[in-house]
Structure 1
């Protein structure tokens, strides 16, 4: 069976590492699902999502000349929506923030947050160095 980019296949997880999972495909070939291709959200520990022996549906995302096969579980789903998930998480974390916020408004908010954080950081580092007494003109 020829493995083609874009095809969806059933496979069996045969091994798990820190960086991904190896999946045996039909025909005996093996591909790698990188940890970033396991789920739509951030995956810190792949063992929370997969175990050896699991049957998974994967999509072939690349086939290298040396025979390495790149696979994706999240792209094999029927309705992947990574951009809408990102937008939802930002909206929830910021409260009732307007979704149609302009670029200028976003930049102004970012600059204000950045300046506040820098001021707090300076205040804490100055107190550890001895404060303003160390600065003599």
Structure 2
């Protein structure tokens, strides 16, 4: 019986470690079933599931250049019943796309913002910028003074409020 990737073969557990189980495939060939390839469910201790001497069906997953054989028990059993993990879709879309084919909203632009005041085009740009700058400076100055007022009294240790 030849050992090739994808074959499902009978085997016998010859050794158990923390990370997996060694399986004798016959013809003096041994492979390793990693603990993640034993079952579809989480396994904390492989000794709870497998014991030395158990007869198992394994699928050959990989044959390394140095002769190491990677095996899987869960894929051998799932191949006969359902599709394997590689055949399942990796990602499913949940949000519908908009008309442009993008999954995102359009970024906000100042051109699309509503205007409440009517001004001449050239005058509006200059006045808008000046008004925005002065209101920003006023707001930031107000915030700084209130922040200073609230934090000044909290700096001292045992003393009273400083003024």
TM-score of the aligned structures, taking structure 1 as reference length: 0.59
Tell me the secondary structure at the aligned position of residue 81 of structure 2. coil
Unaligned runs of 5+ in 2: 86-91, 97-153, 156-163
Query: Is 2:41 the counterpart of 1:44?
Result: no
The Cα shift of 1:2 comes to 2.6
RMSD of the alignment, in Å? 2.3
Q: Distance in 2 between matches of 1:44 and 1:80?
A: 25
Cα–Cα, structure 1 residues 80 and 72, in superposed 2: closer, same or farther, change >3 Å?
farther
1:18-60 deviations in whole A, cap 9, x for unaligned? 0000000021200000000000011111011100000000000
The Cα shift of 1:102 comes to 3.6
Q: Distance in 2 between matches of 1:64 and 1:9?
A: 18
Cα–Cα, structure 1 residues 9 and 82, in superposed 2: closer, same or farther, change >3 Å?
closer
Q: What are the within-5 Å matches in structure 2 for residues 2-21 of structure 1?
A: 2-21=2-21
Structure having the higher helix fraction is 1
Tell me the secondary structure at the aligned position of residue 76 of structure 1. helix
Structure 1 consecutive aligned stretches of length 4 or more whose deviation exceeds 2 Å: 80-83, 100-104
The answer to whether the Cα contact below 8 Å between 1:6 and 1:59 also exists between their aligned partners in 2 is: yes
Q: What are the within-5 Å matches in structure 2 for residues 24-43 of structure 1?
A: 24-43=24-43
Q: Which residue of 2 aligns with 1:79?
A: 81
Which structure would you say has the larger Rg? 2
Cα–Cα, structure 1 residues 81 and 68, in superposed 2: closer, same or farther, change >3 Å?
same
Paired residues in the alignment total 90
Q: What are the within-5 Å matches in structure 2 for residues 1-137 of structure 1?
A: 1-77=1-77, 78-80=80-82, 102=94, 136=154
Q: Distance in 2 between matches of 1:82 and 1:31?
A: 21
Q: Which residue of 1 aligns with 2:113?
A: none
TM-score of the aligned structures, taking structure 2 as reference length: 0.50
